Every structure is written in C-alpha cells, then in structure tokens.
Structure 1
Amino acid sequence: MTSYRRWTLRTENTVYTVRLSPDGPWAELDAWGPHGAEDGPSALDWSRRTHFVTPADAAPAEYLPHGLRPFGGADLVASRPGAERGVWWDFEDARTEEGTLRLAFHDAVLGLRAVLCYATVPGTDVILRWTELTCTGDEELRLERLDSAAVTVPLTGPARLTCLTGQWSQEFQLTQLDLPRGTFTMGSLQGVPGHAYAPWLAVQDGQADAAYGVALEWSGNWHITAEAVPGGTVRVRAGRVPHEGAVVLSPGQTLITPRLACAFSPDGLDGLSRVWHRHERHLAGERLHRPRKVLYNSWEATGFDVDAEGQLELARAAAGIGAELFVVDDGWFTGRADDTGGLGDWYPDPAAFPAGFGRFVDEVRSLGLDFGLWVEPEAVSPGSRLHAEHPDWVYRIDNRPGRLVRNQLLLDLGRPDVQDFVTGTLDRLLTEYDVDYLKWDMNRPPTERGRPGAGPADRLDLDAQHVTGYLRVLDHLRTAHPDVTIEGCAGGGARVEHATVARTDVVWPSDNTAPLDRLSIQYGFLHAHAPHVMSSWVTDAPGIFDPRPRSLAFRFVNAMCGVLGVGADLRAWTPGQRAEAARWISRYKEVRDVIHHGEVHLLGTPDDPTFGVQYDHPASGRTVVAALGTGRLDGAPLVPGRPSRLRLRALDPGARYHDAASGTTYGGAHLLHYGLPFTWSAGHDADLVVLTRR
C-alpha cells in the first residue's frame, strides 16, 4: 500500500496519474496510458539505488528545478541577481477540481512559488500542462530556463522518436530516429516556430504500437528536448526560449508558461494523429461548423502585377469552375510593384483600381464570390510612409547596422502602439470594404531584435511580448469580425502551432504547391494537425524536390485532402481543363463535411506506389478515400498485372459499403483484408472514392 499522495486525471480513453514522490519534494509520473493503466505497480518505479546521481535525477519527475535536480536536466533555472542559481522548494498544497489539478511548491529562501497545472480537454485524450511561477520575495528573480512541463515515457528498448522537420518549401517532413541513449533537441530562435522543426514530438517504445505525443502551444522561440536516461525511460521537456537568455520576475509578479499538450494513443502514430485532430476541432469551437469555402488565390497567376481588369478576369474564371471565394494576394496596395516597397502603407493602389477598390470588391462579389485579401501586418518596407513616420517601430539596436530580409523590416509587435496600429489598419480594411477572408502572412524572422530607449535589453522579454501582441490582434479580430475567415501563414508553414490554430480558421502549410512535394508535406502535416485547418491549392507549379509530372486529377485529389483552393492561372487553362476542375470542385463540395469532420486514417506513406487518406463519418455512414498513385505501373495489359489495393481501416467487417460511382458493393471484411482496388495508368493516377454503408 502506497504512503504517498496520488492524483489521477481521466480523459475519454486515457488516464494520467501523478504522485508526490516518496523521495523528495517533487511530483512524478505514476501512470499514463489507457483506462486501468493506473491499477498496479507503476511501470516508472525504480530501485531507489543511485550512484553519482541524486534521487531527483533518476526520478520520472514532472517538473524539477536546478538545485534539486543538478545533473539530469532541470526544467527551471532561477536565481537572484548576483546569487547562486538553484531552487530548493517544499511541497505546499494540492488543489483539484473536475478535470484539473494544481500542485504548489515554494522556496521561501529564494522567494519563488511554482504551481504545476494540469487540465483535461473535454471530448479528447489530451492533457494540458503548464507552470505558474510567482516571485514571493522582496527581490526580483532571474529565470534562465522556464520550461512548461516534462513527461516521462517507460521503455523496454530504444526510444523511437518521430518529429516534423524541413526547411522553407519542404516543411512537415515526417522524420524518425532511434534514441538508445543521449539527448535529442529541436527548436527555433526565429521568433516563430520556424520551417526547420514543428513544436511537436511523438515517442514510441521501439516498434510498439502505443504512441505518446507532446505539442507546445507557443508562437515564438521554443525547444523540445528528449533525453534517454539510464534505467529505461525517455524524458521529454519543452518550453519557450527567451530571446534575451533570461526573464526577470519582479516581486509579486506571476509568469505563466505556454501550455504543453500531452496525448496518448494505443494505436500508434495513426491513432495519435486522430487525438490531435479532435483536439484541434475542440480549439475551433463553433467555427468548426462553418464550411471552409473553395477559394481561388491570384498569387501564382499574377504575382505583383495586380490590377482590377486582370483580377476580374481571374475572378470570372474562378466563379466558372465553382470557386466560392476570391482572394487577392500580394500587390494590391500602394507602392507594391515588387517586394522592395509598400509594406506598412495598407491602402489600395488607385492606379490599379481606377474605379475605386470598393467598386472592384463589389464586382467580384456580384459573381457570387466572397472576397479576401492578403496582408503582412508585422512587416514594413524601408521606403514606406509608415517607416518614415515611425522608424522607432521596427526592431533595431542603436549604433548597429540593420539588415533587410526579403527587402523588408519587422515591426516590434510587442509595443502597444504598434499593436494599436495593426488593429486599426485591419479594422479599417475589414469595415471599409466587404472582406470575408484575411490571409495573414509573415515573411521574415526578427534579426536585430532590440528596442532602443526601453531600458536594458536583458530586462526586456521581447519574444514573449511579440507573441502577446500577435495573439492580442488575432483575439481582437475574432471578437470584432467574427464572420471573417482568417488564414495563418508565415512564409509557408513557419507559424503553425496550437495558439495560432485556436485563433485562425485555416493555416498554410507551405509555399510549395507542386503535387508530389506537397504530398509529403501534407502527409507529415496530417500527423499533427487536422484536415479542416490544412489549406491546399491546385496550381501549375512544377516540382522542386520531385519534378515528376502529375495529372490535374492528382493535383485536385491531393488538395481535397484538406481545405481545397485553386491558385493556377486559369486564363491559360483549356476549356477541357476548366470543365474537369468544375467536376472535381463539385465532388469536393459533396464530401467536404466528411473530410473536415471525419476520423482520418493515413493509408501507407507517399513512398508507397499507392498512398491514400481515409475519412470516416459515422453520422452520415460515409467513407471517403483519396487515393494517389505515385509508383511504377503494373504493366497491364501487356503482362498479367493486377490492381493496386489500399487496405482500409476501422470499418465494420460485417457491413456492406457501396460505391455509387462504380456501382460496386464491398463487404467490410473485404475492404479490411484485401483493400480497395485501383488500376493506375499513364492518364489515371488519382481517384476519390465515396463509400456509403448499407
């Protein structure tokens, strides 16, 4: 019988049990898994024999500071200025309510109170964790590390880590590595999550099915670190990274760390993806039920060459194929002939819209289309009027050269006056013109990140202030313009995490729209994020990394795996291509509720000759399968080839499923055992199958 205190949080299918350690004043993980996993001796228990380490270093601790945990990677490093670093706290109290837990620890000598916070997310298998740090003494504290939380996974062999890596135009590449011992870390110092890594990690026990995952809800600098330690565990900690190297906490001040979402599935990465999808549906709230409209975006057709006549020609073509929304991308505002000017002066170019921008918007809407605009609110061009009037609004360091990235500077969105300018600008555009859709882009990271005249740089938490300003503006837009759809973008997928997903309707995974390149991007993306947030376009773009040509059908089926858009130059399409596009868009509208709200199964990988995504919608009895052929053909009819097959998942083996397009009825057991057949040819490399349960 245990003598220590123990608390269990329950989600729909999982438990997360925390105990007060018998070895010292800290909390540690007792059990994390399916219901019932908490009944029995903890799989994380250990012998309590230590050599050259302390019990705190060996424990599966939920959160420990440097001082108590001197060797094994501390989650918190704090000190008074000029004093030794270290926290030696005592357990203070525990508070529980339905679905929540708060464990408080206090170091009276240092003057620091830390509260470990837990909350379940209704309707999901996600546990949110964060930490609240309060300066309780008379002197300020310096926080050099302030992670959100740590989680420990028991192992019987090497840890299999899965992360999402890449670069601009190649984001969300699913990457796996084994970690038998040592440390793996990833993150960003670019002021956004970045293109190189997504703030998401999955951990598995070798090849075992069960998967544990974490995702950090933070739009700025961050890290996630996994350490495989002696004794058979891997400990993952995550948090934000202050740009200045530390954060100063004044007496009486409380700092709340970003939330770390923790998820578990017994069904591997595929099952873990569905846990994340349900979480993002919860984040969407009532906005989830608004249809994501088929958009047309003019960027790849016209670039910066934007004028009313050319845009209206594209809008008429877009309406003709069934698009529901027309978005004018970069180039619509004064001084924007190329990427060297105009940013910050957000007024329509009168030369491009001689009859007035309002008249142009009305003409687009008269075609039956909603209207959208691209903006980059955080950016400013050096030659703009805004920069001339407010040079102090950009990040800069006195007596040091500034540099241009993409010929532009970055506004210090941590300043309240800059936030007010951005809010006022967007309010003006959204009220003066009938705008239904806003694409928020960001095309450069902060470089010379300083704020002259605001005091010592090491006392400014500039990264967190920028994130706060960004989220404040988004929150304002959600409240003041609730009917406007917002798309999040940062040079592609550089700012995709739960804080952004919670405040936008869709996000842009990558600027790369080539078919096979995009297939691998979307494959990784769907492991971490839901289809209803994945904006994807059909364009004419050739491949950057995989240049093999694909059919128009392939491009449409691939883009229909999320929120369908079109970005090609429709003026160059033949009547036959436009007619085919209209047919695909019509089919998409019939099944987008299944795609956006259904349970998703990833069938194989993009490296397989046939790859598919399955969407199940039990309420309507429909299953949609997007199938894509990427490999060699089977040689039929010259040799005895046979169709490629995708084995479906999670169907009722005793039920029957009807494909109205082909007139074929399948048994559920047949689809689970043999799979859905596809006969690919040079002219047929993609298909969309809709099965109705009978």
Structure 2
Amino acid sequence: MTKKLVSILLFLVAIAHATVRSETIHIATNETEIVLQTAQNGRLYQLYLGPRLSAAADYNHLLPKLKSKSDGQAWEAYPVSGTETYFEPAFGIRHNDGNQATVLTYVSHTVKQVSPDVTETVISLKDVVYPVQVKLYYRTFAKDNIIESWSEISHNEKKPVNINRYASSMLYWKRNRYFLTEFSGDWAKEVNMSTVPLNFGKKVVDSKLGARANMLVSPFFTVGLGETPREHDGEVLMGTLGWTGNFRFTFEVDNENNLRVVSGINPDASDYTLDPGKVFTTPAFIFTYSNKGTGKGSRDLHRWARNYQLKDGKGDRLTLLNNWEATYFDFNEQKLNGLFAEAKFLGVDMFLLDDGWFANKYPRQSDTQGLGDWQPTTSKLPNGIPALVKGATDAGVKFGIWIEPEMVNPKSELFEKHPDWVILLPNREHYYFRNQLVLDLSNPAVQDHVFNVVDHLMTENPTLAYMKWDCNSPITNIYSPYLKDRQGNLYVDYVRGLYKVLDRIKAKYPNLPMMLCSGGGGRTDYEGLRYFTEFWCSDNTDPIERLYIQWGYSQFFPAKSMAAHVTSWNHDAGIKFKVDVAMQCKLGFDINVKGLREEEQTFCQSAVATYNKLKNTIFNGEQYRLVSPYEGNHTATMYVSESGKQAVLYTYDIHPRYSEVVLPVKCQGLNPTASYRVKEVNLMPGKNPDEAVNGKVYSGDYLMKVGLDLFTSTKLHSRVLEIEVAE
C-alpha cells in the first residue's frame, strides 16, 4: 500500500469520524439493560450494564461518561488487538499483508422481535482500511432475564486470514470489589465450588482438553459484584458458554478497578484460518444479572433452559434401571432378560444397557479393545439388539443403549481399516487416555460414520427408546490428517463436526431422548444440551458427594437435565438416603436389585411411585437452595410447583456433630397468605412419619419466616416432605 493511498484513506477516515452520528442502542430484558453508544471516532462503547431503569430519560445522564474516558481505557464493546487497546482484546487478526491491527467502526444495527418475549439486536461493525466485518448479536429473553451474546466474523481479503482472538462477549463492570466463584475438579469430583477475590490483573478459567473439555473445570462462573456471591441477596453476574469444546473466561481488573469479562472459545493452539467470504460464528455466551443473589439467577437460567434451550425442555423424563454395577462387562442375553424383569419390578420406565455389548474380532470384554466396532458381540448376544428390544418390551419396559461413537480403541477393526480417521500425531510416540483415541470429526467421512452408528441402531430397532452418548477421552496426539496445513482449525472444527452429526440425528429422530455423558461431567454446556435431554453429572454416585455435585450443577442447570442414579457406592449410607438424594434430579437406578434386602426392594418400588407423583414439581417447578452443604453438616433444597400449590422439600443430615445447635429450615417461594399441609413421604416400610410436623397445617408466612425443625443429630439421615395447599 503506497504512502499516498494511506494518506487518502486516513483523510477519509477522519471525515467519516467528523460526520458520524451518535447512535445509542438499548438491549434489555424486563429486569436488566445494556446500553451501547457510538463515539465521535465511530467506535462502539458500553455505557451501562445493570438493573433496568424505570424512567427512560434517566439514561441521558449516562451519555457524558463516554466523553470523559480516554480512548485507551474506554469500554469498547468489541476491542481489537494491535491498536491502543491496553487490556485483553476480544478480537485479533493477521491480515494478508501481515498487519495485525484492526479498528472496528459502527455501520448499522437492526432490532427484530423473534417472539413476544425474545428480541434480537444485530450490530454491524467494519474496518475502514481492510475488508473485515464483525456482527455483534444480542438476544434477550424478557421474562426469563437472560441475554445471549455472540459474534460473526467475515472478510473479503484476497486470501485467507488468520484470526487469533474471537470472543463471544465482552462485558464491563465498575464496583469496589469483585469475587469469582469457579467450578473445578476432576473425574468423580466435579464442580467443586470455590470463591476468590479478583484484584488487579487477569484471572483465566479455561480448558484445553478438546472433546472432554469440562473434565477439570466447568464452562460457567459466578461473579459477585461488590460482595462475595450469596444465595438470597446481593449483585451477581452468572455466565456460561454454549460450546462443547475448549473455552476461556478472562476476568481482568484494570488500573481504575474496572472489571472486564471476556468469554468465548479458547484460542490456545487455535489460530483459525478463515477463507474469504466465509463466516466464523462464535458460540453464545449466556448470562443473567441478579441483584437478589444466585438463587434468583439460577431460577432464571432454569426457566430459560426449559423454555428455550434444553431438548424437550418441557417434556417428561424416563426413570430407568442401568445394568453397569450389576454386571459390568459380564452379561449375556439370558442375564439381561432377568434384569428386564427387575426393571419392571421396580416400576421404572426403561432398562438401559451400558458398555460391553459390541465388537467381534476384538470383543468388548474391557475398555482396552473393541471401541469403534458397533456390531453386537455374537457370543454374548447371538440374536442381536432386536431380541433385547423385544425382550424388554415383553417384560413391560422400554429399552435404551450406551454408545461412545466419537472414540476408537487402537485394538479394533475400525482403527485397522481407517487409521486416517483418527486424531493422531504422524511422527511422535502416541499417548492413550483410557486406552482410546478420538475420531477426527472435522472429516465429513467420520461424521457420516458417527451418524451411521445411531442411524443403524434406530433403523434396525425403531422402538429403541433412549441413548446414553459417552465421551471418555480428551483429544490427545493433536493432529488431523484431514485438515493438513490448517491444524489451528482442529479444536473448533471438531466441535462443529460433532454438531453436524447431532443436527442430523435430531432432524431424523427428533423425539429420541439422549443422555450427554463424558466419563461423568466432562461435557456440561447448553449448546450440547440442545441435542440431549439430560447429562450425567458424575461417575461418582456416593450420595454424600452427589449432594455437593448436584448443588454445584444446580447453579446453572434445572433438575430435569441432571441424571442421578441410586448405586452401591458408600456402604455407610442406607438405601433411603441414596434414593432421597437421587430423587432431587432425574431418577435412575444402577444397582443389583436382587442383592437388596426385601424391605429395601419394597422401599425402592414405593419410591418410584412417589417420585412419579412429585416429579412434575421437581422437573418444572422453581428450585430454592435453602441450606448449603458447604456451610455445615446439613443441607436442604426445595422445589415449588408452577401453580404454587405443591412443594417438595428435601433435608439431609450428613455428618452432624455432637450436641451441635441446628436451626429450623425456612422455606421459600410459597404464598404467605395460603395454608399448607405438610406430609412426610418416601418412608421405609414400617417407619412412621415425624408426628411433630406430619399432617400439620401452617401458613406460607410461618413456613418462610419461622420454618420447621427438620435437621437431626443422626448421621446420613434424610427426609422428603410434600407441602400442599390445604383445601
């Protein structure tokens, strides 16, 4: 580019800036508002984010704030690298000429009413020097108080460009203090909640694991604005990324104590090569602002998820019996037919066949072989899956099946035939996680293969009622034979390939319930849950640990999306305690039913029947977390039905201390003027309910202000109370 041409361009830019008309853009739910405005330099800035103001004229008082900020420290809506951005940018690019700077200026914006409660605002930005365009999308859900934010990046340069930053969202806050709650752990110890102060500098929460991206840290967070996040009061930002892959949240406090929150795909090892005319769409950052604590924020997220995001969000869920802990890999057709009868005895809806049913050259007798060869093992199942479906149907239950179609064992026919379908380094020693490798879903041929695993099962067995989709390995040996010289695209294109497969499955089998499993909670994101009715929270089914795990996931996900099974884990806990914990979510059993005592079997039967009576309130009601397990030796949670006429209250004594002082459990969400009858349910055979509360009638006001004495000094003790309006 000649000096003369550069001078002309700069002159034109100066004229454009001098004549630009200020635009103010309001993005709002019924409770929360973002205000953006263009400045004299043509760029777009955030003026306000917080509670919606009652008087529209009050927003005029915000306008002078923009002029008082220097360019380098202004709250630019989508700041770029390479210019005067002093802090973490949202966007970075390397142009055809090697230049790494971009200045995005406002072009236009549109507002579309998607439905009575959903509004979409699209803001177009462009670089006046290079043919690069960015569109910022904001979708607001008025009644649910949820905002989605994402971006679209495109260009018309002569050759592909490299984008090295591509955030979905940039948000700013001005408070005296900030506190971050993150959710971290590992296999069997997911979503441990910890809160730390955010001080000057950057705190990054991210994943680099690829397929099983959430194994060590979950893609959601809470920021306390001014104070540590609290359940029932205080200002909080709660955010999550809809992306089943690597993510990054950057929390940066600057020299003026402003907080920047940058959310999106993790760009680490993912400098993306973008062709001219193609559009790079980032995943949605989903967030809510609450000035009534995390409980209010969670209820807004739950309601939004059921209404708009979760597959079959308003529908029912299937109770089930899984065979894993009863048989592991050791089963045959005869043994499974016996388990169908046990499922019918329990009263659950379905039997779920887990791992170990497939492969012949390398039969699946352990996790070391067979993965990828999705033909029934003839020595175990000589009549194939159709005979099992028929056997379950004859027994009076539905039939579901486990698959792990994205993965392959090196000891398999699939790997022998198609080593080029596997993400695998061509020139280094191979590393295996759980004896397996990841198939390359950036490759359309592999996408077809994975789709065909499901399609063949469903075509052969049209009444197959459920699939548990597992994913036990992160991406290792990171190289795609298919992408060749575009290895930076792998992490992104893998996830996009997965979505292409899931879109095909959902289009052909729209009513097929599916569980999103990833060696436990290795995949817990809302874009994945567009295709799955529920997710597997953890392989850890110890009921004590599950109280913490379910508490953590409930911050962002509704009860009906969280699968919880009764198992043999923790021999100190009785069957009632285990069932009462699992009943908070989507109930299942993974236990040797015949190994239970007769009274335990009878109790489980009764518990399934009780759950069926209560589950509409659990699934579709408002959740109130009353007493946190993190704050003592007891915990309590309740659900209130949509009508407000029924509530279910769970209380748990975990490890009470000798002579400790316990406080009453105060309910929430009830009508203070209504009268409620309290009934203890889900009791062991021969066990009488607590006469101190059972059958008593209280006002909603009393239950919320005074509460009930429900905690005890008994270790691993639990109660389930049904609270109904007294007619």
TM-score bracket, shorter-length normalisation: over 0.9
- Indicate which of 560, 563, 569 corresponds to 2:583: 560
Aligned counterpart for 1:257 among listed residues 268, 282, 285: 282
Given that 1:188 and 1:194 are in contact with CA atoms closer than 8 Å, whether structure 2 keeps it comes out as yes
- Asked whether the 8 Å contact 2:32–2:49 carries over to 1, the reply is no
CA contact (8 A) 1:29 1:151 kept: no
Which range moves more in the overlay, 106-115 or 570-579? 106-115
**In the TM superposition, what whole-angstrom CA distance separates every residue of 1:235-293 from its partner, at most 9, and x where no partner exists?**
10011124643111222222111111121122111111111111211235782233111
Query: Which secondary structure state, in structure 2, belongs to the residue aligned with residue 646 of structure 1?
Result: coil
Partner amino acid, structure 1, of 2:35: T
Match for residue 598 of structure 1?
Answer: 621
Q: What are the equivalent positions in structure 2 for 1:619-638 lying under 5 Å apart?
A: 619=643, 621-632=645-656
Q: 1:633 Cα deviation (Å)?
A: 5.8
- Retained in 2: the 8 A contact 1:79–1:110? no
Deviations 1:152-194 (A, max 9, x none): 1221x21011221111111112221111322111111111432
- Asked if 1:316 corresponds to 2:362, the answer is no
CA distance in 2, matches of 1:527, 1:454: 38
Does structure 1 residue 588 correspond to structure 2 residue 611? yes
Q: Percent identity?
A: 26
Cα separation, partners in 2 of 1:44 and 1:90, compared to 1, 3 Å: closer
Q: CA deviation at 1:10?
A: 2.6
Determine if contact 1:30/1:44 at 8 Å carries over to the other structure.
no
The CA distance in 1 between the partners of 2:457 and 2:600, in whole Å, is 35
Q: Distance in 2 between matches of 1:77 and 1:11?
A: 30
**Selected match of 1:437 from 466, 480, 485:** 466
**Whole-angstrom distance in 2 between the partners of 1:58 and 1:342:** 57
Distance 2:276 2:383 in 1: 59
Alpha-carbon distance in 1 for matches of 2:335, 2:105: 69
SS at match of 2:288: strand
Contact 2:309 2:526 (8 Å CA) reproduced = no
Q: CA RMSD in A?
A: 2.2
Indicate the SS of the match to 2:364.
coil
Q: Does structure 1 retain, via aligned residues, the 8 Å contact 2:340–2:391?
A: no
Cα distance in 2 for residues equivalent to 1:239 and 1:202? 16
Q: Corresponding residue for 2:111? A: 96
Deviation for aligned residue 1:64: 0.8
1:551 touches 1:683 (CA, 8 Å); kept in 2?
no
Aligned to 1:483: 511
How many Å apart are 1:69 and its aligned residue? 4.2
Structure 1 gap ranges (5+): 543-547, 636-640
**Aligned pair in 2 of structure 1 residues 56, 164: CA closer, same or farther (>3 Å)?**
farther
Q: Distance in 2 between matches of 1:436 and 1:276?
A: 28
**Separation of aligned partners in 2, 1:685 and 1:209:** 32
Question: Match for residue 247 of structure 2?
Answer: 222
2: distance between equivalents of 1:150 and 1:115? 14
One-letter amino acid matched to 1:276: L
Q: Distance in 2 between matches of 1:90 and 1:213?
A: 29
In 1, Cα distance between equivalents of 2:63 and 2:182:
24
1:669 counterpart = 2:694: no
Per-residue CA deviations over 1:203-238 (Å, capped at 9, x if unaligned) read 222327121122111111110011122333211001
Q: 1:23 to 1:214 in 2, by over 3 A?
A: farther
Counterpart position of 1:71: 86
CA gap 1:25/1:644 in 2 versus in 1, 3 angstroms: closer
User: 2:333·2:380 contact (CA, 8 Å) conserved in 1?
Assistant: yes
Counterpart in the other structure of 1:280 = 305
Corresponding residue of 1:58: 73
Counterpart residue number, 2:95: 80
Q: Could you tell me whether the CA contact under 8 Å between 2:73 and 2:86 is conserved in 1? A: no
Which of 61-70 and 298-307 deviates more? Answer: 61-70
| Deviation by residue 1:483-510 (Cα, 9 ceiling, x = unmatched) | 3210001111111101111111000111
User: Kindly tell me: are residues 57 and 36 of structure 1, through their superposed partners in 2, closer, same or farther at Cα, counting changes over 3 Å?
Assistant: farther
Structure 1 residue 646: deviation in Å? 1.1
Give the counterpart of 1:687 among 704, 716, 719: 719
| Counterpart Cα distance in 1 of 2:105 and 2:489 | 28
SS at match of 2:400: strand
Aligned partner (choices 551, 560, 576) of residue 532 of structure 1: 560
- Give TM-score, length-normalised by structure 2: 0.89
Give secondary structure in 2 for the equivalent of 1:449.
coil
Q: 1:302 to 1:73 in 2, by over 3 A?
A: same
Instruction: Report the Cα distance in structure 2 between the residues aligned to 1:42 and 1:150, rounded to whole angstroms.
Output: 23
- The answer as to whether partners of 2:678 and 2:697 remain within 8 angstroms in 1 is yes
Secondary structure of the residue aligned to 1:678 is: coil
2:132–2:154 CA contact under 8 A, matched in 1: yes
Summarize the alignment of residues 78-157 of structure 1 with structure 2, pairs less than 5 Å apart.
78-81=93-96, 83-98=98-113, 99-121=119-141, 123-155=143-175, 157=176
Query: Equivalent residue for 1:172?
Result: 191
Secondary structure of 1:7's aligned partner: strand
- Taking the aligned partners of 1:512 and 1:24, their CA distance within structure 2 comes to 54
Partner of 1:638: none
Over 3 Å counting, the alpha-carbon distance change for 1:286 and 1:684 in structure 2 is closer
For 1:167, the aligned partner's letter is D
Distance 1:194 1:684 in 2: 30
- Equivalent residues, number: 676
Partner of residue 45, structure 2? 27
Structure 1 residues 669 and 104: alpha-carbon distance in aligned structure 2, compared to 1, 3 A threshold: same
Native 8 Å contact 1:610 1:644 kept in 2: no
Aligned twin of 2:430: 402
Correspondence for 2:27 among 9, 17, 23? 9
CA distance in 2, matches of 1:102, 1:47: 22
Structure 1, 331-340 or 102-111: larger mean CA deviation = 102-111
After alignment, is 90-99 or 331-340 more displaced? 90-99
Pair 687,87 (structure 1): closer, same or farther in 2 beyond 3 Å: same
Q: Distance in 2 between matches of 1:118 and 1:508?
A: 30
With over 3 angstroms needed to count, the CA separation of the structure-2 counterparts of 1:59 and 1:326, relative to structure 1, is same
Q: Cα gap change, 1:571/1:45 in structure 2, threshold over 3 Å: closer, same or farther?
A: farther
Preserved CA contact (<8 Å) 1:370 1:435: yes
